[in-house]
Chain A
Amino acid sequence: MGYRYKSAFLRPLLLLLCGLGLLYGREVNIVEGLPYVDVDVNGENIRIERIQDTSHKLKNSYTKTSRPTPPFNIQPFEPIKGVQTVTELDVINFIKEKVSENEGMLIDGRMPKWYQNGTIPGALNIPFSMFAQHQENPYVDQIFTIFGAELDEDGWHFDDAQELLVFDNGPWCQQGVTLMKHLIALGYPKEKILYYRGGMQFWQILGLTTIKPKAQGAS
């Protein structure tokens, strides 16, 4: 009887301790006290966390150190004056606060095949060259409307347009900067654009969650 009592009491306690251990006993956190962040990605709950294996090393093309210039010039910290450069923590916060609430869009400016291979949770793909043609570009009106901008006889109005956080492969990649330059040239306000310079390379070096997007069946 005594044993049974003990067992009935200890089992839930052990389970609770295990649960707490799982939650708080993580070695690799986003920051101390923040093991993960749950975000809504197109209706799915995705957990952004870091790889827990402390011996883990990247094996993909993001391990590469040297790429020829041009085009792989190192990007300045603030490549476009007036466009704020942000860190991984800002990106996570942006996904949580803006993307989940549909008040902001995380834009992967790389080509679709790269995006399909893995991206930051919540990112939508707009290839950097999509706006290269400024005159008579068939995509501008449709994409600006999706961004929430409104067109009338006076032109585009961006009051309700969403904030965009743009990223690409990383500090050696010009694609995100090119995309932002095109957007600004087409009238998108600089103050509604953010730039994650670290891109996919830094995101993966920190072991942060990546996903293979389902909805966008790009070629």
Chain B
Amino acid sequence: MMRTLMIWIVAALLLAPSAFALTTKELAISINLAGKQRMLTQKMTKEALLVDAGIDTQKNLEKLKKSRALFDKTLNGLLHGDKSLRLKPCQDPKVKVQLKKVLKLWKAFDRDIGKVIAGKADKNTYKRLEKNNLTLLKEMHKAVTMYVSETKQKTSRRAQAINLSGKERMLTQRMAKDLLLISEGIDTKKNRADLKATAKEFEAILKGLQKGDAALGLVGTKLPGIKKQLQKGDTLWREIKPALAKAPKNPKLMAKTIAQLDTLLVVMNKAVKKYEKSIQREKQALQLSSLVNSFMKHKNSENHVVNLSGKQRMLTQKMTKLALLVSLNIDRAENKKRLQNAYTLYGKTLDGFAKGDKTLGLEATKDPKVTAYLGEVRAAWKPFAANVRKVIDSNGKDTKALAYVVKHNEALLQKSHHLVQLFKKSGGKKSFMEKARLNIVDIAGRQRMLTQKMTKEKLLILAKVASKQNSQKLKETVSQFDTALTMLIKGDPAHQLPKPANAKMIAQLKRVDTLWQKLKPIYLDEKPGKKALQAIVEGNPVLLSEMNKAVHISEIVADY
């Protein structure tokens, strides 16, 4: 349920600006000010009635002028934008149509308000005002609902709290207006009923805002600031409520009650603002969260791409090693399968770098340098792949194809390695720790390649292919693996490699080291027996797998 709600809120946040071409903040201002217009319809009517009743005539005339100007300015602002009100023009066609309907009603209403201000109002003017204020209120309310529903805020309980606490402002003014109409003897019965219903609605909403009301979609607030504000409103309401019935017959009490209703309006307005601020923070958190997720997705993909491009280096050596094992008829069927897999994976990953690959979690690179270099890698890969294919198809008997693989694997390795370095530099400026992270993934990833390279070299020695040269190469590869493993375990500031502090990483590197200490003397043994060779064939995939786990841990842990 919460998840669905959150999805709706996020969707609303994401959709709102596009639907209205307004930002969330601009939209919130529009909703608040459109909501305030409802209250102004009632306030103007009340002020006009106070003028008619001769109560504080001059003061209420001034108030009426201000309310009228504000309603007019806000309505125009909602339609066409207003810098001083921080309103942007409404972009939604449906809301626009509704606002134009309100404008038409307002023009007629405004003419009568003008008459009151100019002292030219007669009984009919007040009758029209009394009749039309509710139509204007109703249509303005429709516009507010449309703003709210279009943004899907109706799904948020706190948005409902904002809406209803906003309505409370209007209800205070409606009660004041009803009191005046009753005291003037206009439609007394009808207005008494309206006053009673309005008071009941006000009280229900106030209670719902404080303690919750399922029917109204209110959960009640626990926020100390809002609680305090609503309590103020509640205290004041307890004073006003008993006076409502008596006030129309008592001018003194009437003046006091209307003044108190105005104070209640101010109190409720403050509560609305507090709700707005509270929901605004929730929106900010969701918006930030969405941006941070997008940023982290991009950042994680940088590590991932370095990991996968690093794995390509290993695959060049693995393919060569497996081609040798197939041609030496060592576990031929199984190694043929493995060779086929490595061959497929290298090609797939290479394509994934350029075009993106969901299954590999790869996005197409946008870096022009990487794109250009991928062409070079592909040029080297194409003939290499063709020869690997021939080795597979001939059961390792195509010696020409095998010779090609043996001769060109290191050139492909070099190109794959350069690609890793380009990916590391790609993606803009990086912090010390970001660079360090990429170095760890790169160096730990390179170890995987070295496990395959040293086995390949061992097999070439055994197959008596350039034995002296490969023997020298093997010593260098073993030494490279040894040095890099020590660097990973102890850290190396010169290579911007921090010493791991993460328990999982430490334990994993220890596992790799234990395995390595067993395999190292066998690799260096110039005349290994059959048993030793078997140990290499069996131990090498385990070493590769454990090293792969270390790369994965370095890629994902929070605290390296």
In the complex, which of the residues B288, B300, B428, B431 contacts A126, with contact meaning CB atoms closer than 8 Å? Answer: B288
B295 to chain A, nearest CB (A): 5
A150 to chain B, nearest CB (A): 9
Interface residues on A, range: 35 or more
Question: Chain B 193-224, CB within 8 Å of chain A: the 1/0 string?
Answer: 00000000000000000000000000000111
A214 to chain B, nearest CB (A): 9
**A133 near B429 (CB under 8 angstroms)?**
yes
* B158 at the binding interface (Cβ < 8 Å): yes
**A112 near B278 (CB under 8 angstroms)?**
no
Q: A71-B432, A216-B292 are in contact. Are A43 and B282 (CB under 8 A)?
A: yes
* A127 at the binding interface (Cβ < 8 Å): yes
**A101 near B288 (CB under 8 angstroms)?**
no
**B284 near A146 (CB under 8 angstroms)?**
yes
Would you list which residues of chain B between 486 and 544 have a CB under 8 Å from chain A? 491, 493, 498-499, 501
Q: A68-B498, A100-B225 are in contact. Are A218 and B558 (CB under 8 A)?
A: no
Question: Chain A 80-111, CB within 8 Å of chain B: the 1/0 string?
Answer: 00000000000000000001111101000001
* B286 at the binding interface (Cβ < 8 Å): yes
A sample of 10 more A-B contacts (CB under 8 A), given A61-B559, A101-B277, A216-B293, is A43-B158, A68-B498, A100-B224, A114-B559, A125-B288, A125-B292, A126-B288, A127-B292, A130-B292, A218-B296
* B266 at the binding interface (Cβ < 8 Å): no
Chain A residues within 8 Å of B281, by CB:
42-43, 99, 102
Chain B residues within 8 Å of A54, by CB:
none
* A159 at the binding interface (Cβ < 8 Å): no
Chain A residues within 8 Å of B291, by CB:
139, 142-143
* A6 at the binding interface (Cβ < 8 Å): no
Closest 3 CB pairs of A and B: A113-B558, A102-B277, A216-B289
**B431 near A128 (CB under 8 angstroms)?**
yes
Cα-based distance from A49 to B1 in the complex (angstroms) = 31
* A65 at the binding interface (Cβ < 8 Å): no
* B285 at the binding interface (Cβ < 8 Å): yes
**B225 near A101 (CB under 8 angstroms)?**
yes
B45 to chain A, nearest CB (A): 34
**B295 near A127 (CB under 8 angstroms)?**
yes
Question: Chain A 25-61, CB within 8 Å of chain B: the 1/0 string?
Answer: 0000000000000101011110000000000000001
Cα-based distance from A127 to B293 in the complex (angstroms) = 10
Number of interface residues of B (CB under 8 A): 45
* B334 at the binding interface (Cβ < 8 Å): no
Would you list which residues of chain B between 291 and 329 have a CB under 8 Å from chain A? 291-297, 299-300
Would you list which residues of chain B between 536 and 560 have a CB under 8 Å from chain A? 558-559
Cα-based distance from A44 to B295 in the complex (angstroms) = 27
Chain B residues within 8 Å of A61, by CB:
501, 559
* A4 at the binding interface (Cβ < 8 Å): no
* B25 at the binding interface (Cβ < 8 Å): yes
Nearest CB to that of B300 among chain A residues?
A219
Chain A residues within 8 Å of B287, by CB:
142, 146
* A64 at the binding interface (Cβ < 8 Å): yes
Q: A112-B292, A215-B286 are in contact. Are A132 and B501 (CB under 8 A)?
A: no
Q: List 28 A-B contacts (CB under 8 A).
A: A42-B281, A42-B285, A43-B278, A43-B282, A44-B222, A64-B501, A68-B493, A68-B499, A99-B281, A100-B223, A101-B277, A102-B280, A103-B277, A105-B284, A117-B558, A124-B285, A125-B288, A125-B289, A125-B292, A127-B299, A129-B430, A129-B431, A132-B428, A132-B431, A174-B432, A178-B431, A215-B285, A218-B293
Cα-based distance from A101 to B277 in the complex (angstroms) = 6
**B292 near A40 (CB under 8 angstroms)?**
no
Q: How many A-B residue pairs have CB under 8 A?
A: 113
In the complex, which of the residues A40, A133, A139 contacts B224, with contact meaning CB atoms closer than 8 Å? Answer: A40
Q: A71-B432, A129-B299 are in contact. Are A218 and B289 (CB under 8 A)?
A: yes
- Counting chain B CB atoms within 10 Å of each CB, the highest count among A102, A128, A219 belongs to A102
**A111 near B293 (CB under 8 angstroms)?**
no
Would you list which residues of chain B between 437 and 483 have a CB under 8 Å from chain A? none
Would you list which residues of chain B between 248 and 296 have a CB under 8 Å from chain A? 274, 277-282, 284-289, 291-296
Cα-based distance from A49 to B224 in the complex (angstroms) = 16
- Counting chain A CB atoms within 10 Å of each CB, the highest count among B23, B299, B493 belongs to B299
* B434 at the binding interface (Cβ < 8 Å): yes
Question: Chain A 131-152, CB within 8 Å of chain B: the 1/0 string?
Answer: 0110000010011011010000
Cα-based distance from A128 to B434 in the complex (angstroms) = 11
* B433 at the binding interface (Cβ < 8 Å): yes
A96 to chain B, nearest CB (A): 9
A65 to chain B, nearest CB (A): 12
Question: Chain B 30-74, CB within 8 Å of chain A: the 1/0 string?
Answer: 000000000000000000000000000000000000000000000
Chain B residues within 8 Å of A12, by CB:
none
A153 to chain B, nearest CB (A): 14
